[in-house]
Structure 1
Amino acid sequence: MIDPKKIEQIARQVQESLPKGVREFGEDVEKKVRQVLQSQLTRLDLVNREEFDVQTQVLLRTREKLALLEQRLSELEGKQGNTPPAKTEDE
């Protein structure tokens, strides 16, 4: 999920950008902003960077394996093309 430290940082930045009169509510405003941010980001169904990086590595390994399998298949098909086709019982 989303890093709670990032949410706190965003909430703090929003609070600091508020006019001084509003900032007097301090903790209440920051807490409410944090809650709203958390709920909205949760609805977006985002993944964190670590999970994204892991899935990227999995995809790269899968692509490498697929490329090797395609190469092996091509080699096997090439070998099969060089040998005469097997005779069937009808011939």
Structure 2
Amino acid sequence: MDVQSIDQLAQRLASLVPPGLAQARNDLEVNFRDVLAQGLRRLDLVTREEFDVQLQLLARTRARIDELEQRIADLEASQGARGH
């Protein structure tokens, strides 16, 4: 989540404060922004780019596992044919 998204969310939350509390609204918006940013940092999220790299690595790993499983099945089949 980028800074602009955090700002927009903080503004939306602050807009829920009654209009008569204008100063409180501004203070709350600043506090909302800080709390949201801190919370997101604690979540230890990855970027979309990092996620995509890991997704590609997982796809390559899955393909390699499928290939190795097929090789094992072929070896077992040929071993079974020799044993009979």
Q: Normalising by structure 2, what TM-score?
A: 0.71
Q: Is the 8 A contact 2:14 2:26 kept in 1?
A: no
Identity among equivalent pairs (%):
45
Which piece of structure 1 moves more, 52-61 or 32-41?
A: 52-61
CA RMSD of aligned residues (A): 2.3
The aligned amino acid for 2:40 is L
Count the aligned residue pairs. Answer: 83
Which piece of structure 1 moves more, 22-31 or 12-21?
A: 22-31
* Gapped regions of structure 1 (runs ≥ 5): 85-91
Kindly state the Cα deviation for residue 34 of structure 1 after the two structures are TM-superposed: 0.8
Q: Show the counterpart of 2:41.
A: 42
* Gapped regions of structure 2 (runs ≥ 5): none
Q: Show the counterpart of 1:87.
A: none
- Per chain length, whose mean CA-contact separation is higher, i.e. which structure has more relative contact order (CA < 8 Å, sep 6+)? 1
The aligned amino acid for 2:13 is V
Greater per-residue helix proportion: 2
Larger Cα-atom Rg: 1
